[in-house]
Amino acid sequence: MNEIDGRSRMAADSARTVDKTAGARPAASPGPAKLELIGIGKEFRTKRAHTQALSGIDLTISDGEFVSIIGRSGCGKTTLLRMLAGLLSPSAGQILIEGRSLWDGTKADTSVVSQLGVVFQEANLFPWYSVAENIALPLRLRGDGKADRLARAAELAELVGLGGFESSYPRELSGGMRQRVAIARALSTRPKLLLMDEPFGALDALTRERMNLELQRIALATEATVVFITHDITEAVFLGDRVVHLTPRPGRIRQVKTVEFQRPRSIDVQTEAAFGAMERDLRHALDDDEKG
């Protein structure tokens, strides 16, 4: 019930913003570059095949920006995200975080990585820890006290709609609930850079919508820079300052579209003509990928 209140309040807020700007003001003024991808490529070599997963990716993401990445299955989205997370070294190009190089050869500079929150395509929870312990694991690793951890875990569990499940174990949760625990875990350290790989893929439409609004709110409140991978065009447009469209084989940036709606946005922007037109363009472009 609370939720609905929150949602309508938010709707009213952004409707006002949208009115003021006639729905077509450029998104967040570009701050200093948070993340720079320069000529990123990745080739996988296995015994059977060489796969050029990504090639010539150039992208600059400014501080506080929300960038959605869409593309067909297998076009290299996860690969790109793993390189940004310091988990997989690029075979070509450079990744700069706040101007500092993330990769030194095949080694990630861990001091650059530390301000990072990652939500993987799979929840990857630890079955031996309760929901609260899973959420607070990043805090535990960096040495926060137990009381702080518990408080923060409870707060985050509430945020992702899992209040009351703190002492449950992952095996007792549904797939979507597990994914929400993983999101809470990534948020626990209040990261300045959030990398999310189809975080809401396992959720039903209504929960997804609610999580979209929450994510938007959190990203704005913490001034986090977000790289958000999704299959869902509506979600990509709704959340992103820009939408990056990757084409497969090899993964390249086909187009980058700027979404001309001020954030925060209400669910209602989805019914606006400009929103629909952008969705349609992207859908056609993605369809082309399949034919190509």
Partner 1 sequence: MNNDRVRKILPWVSTPLILLVFFLAWEAFVRAFEVSPLVLPPPLAVLESLTEVVVDPETWEHAGVTAAETIGGFLIALAFGVAVGVLLGKVAWIELSLRPLIVASQVVPKVALIPLFVIWFGFGMTSKVIMSAMLAFFPIMLNVQLGVRSVDKGQREVMRSLNATRWQTFNHLELKSTMPYVFAGMEVGIVLAIIGAIVGEYLGGNEGLGYLVVRTLNELDAPALFATIMLLSVLGLVLYFAVNSLKRFVIPWHESVYGQHDVNG
Ligand X SMILES: Nc1ncnc2c1ncn2[C@@H]1O[C@H](COP(=O)(O)OP(=O)(O)OP(=O)(O)O)[C@@H](O)[C@H]1O
> Which spans of this chain sit near partner 1 (rule: CB under 8 A)?
82, 85-87, 110, 113-114, 116, 118, 120, 122, 124, 126-128, 137-138, 140-141, 169, 171
Residue type, 100: R
Residue 86's binding partner out of partner 1, ligand X, Mg ion, none, with CB under 5 to 8 Å set by partner kind: partner 1
Please say which residue, 40 or 112, places its beta carbon nearer to partner 1.
112
Tell me how far apart the alpha carbons of residues 186 and 41 are, in angstroms, rounded to a whole number.
26
Nearest to 278 by CA among 249, 263, 262, 256: 256
Please say which residue, 76 or 117, places its beta carbon nearer to ligand X.
76
Q: How far is the CB of 198 from Mg ion (least distance, A)?
A: 6
Tell me how far apart the alpha carbons of residues 102 and 79 are, in angstroms, rounded to a whole number.
15
Q: How far is the CB of 164 from ligand X (least distance, A)?
A: 32
Count Cα neighbours of 46 within 13 Å in the Cβ-side half-sphere.
5
Exactly one of 41, 76, 90, 138 binds ligand X (CB under 6 A); which one? 76
78 binding Mg ion? (CB under 5 A): yes
77 binding ligand X? (CB under 6 A): yes
Exactly one of 19, 29, 32, 46 binds ligand X (CB under 6 A); which one? 46
Q: How far is the CB of 192 from partner 1 (least distance, A)?
A: 14
84 binding ligand X? (CB under 6 A): no
CB atoms within 10 A of CB 50: 8
Please say which residue, 18 or 40, places its beta carbon nearer to ligand X.
40
C-beta separation of 226 from 241 below 8 A? no
Q: How far is the CB of 122 from ligand X (least distance, A)?
A: 10
Please say which residue, 55 or 134, places its beta carbon nearer to ligand X.
55
Q: Considering only 75-83, 149-157, 219-227, 234-242, which stretch makes contact with ligand X by CB under 6 A? A: 75-83
111 binding ligand X? (CB under 6 A): no
79 binding ligand X? (CB under 6 A): yes
Letters for 129-168 (x = contact with ligand X by CB under 6 A, - = none) are ----------------------------------------
Q: How far is the CB of 51 from ligand X (least distance, A)?
A: 5
The residue ranges that bind ligand X (CB under 6 A) are 44, 46, 51, 53, 71, 73-79, 121
The residue ranges that bind Mg ion (CB under 5 A) are 78, 121
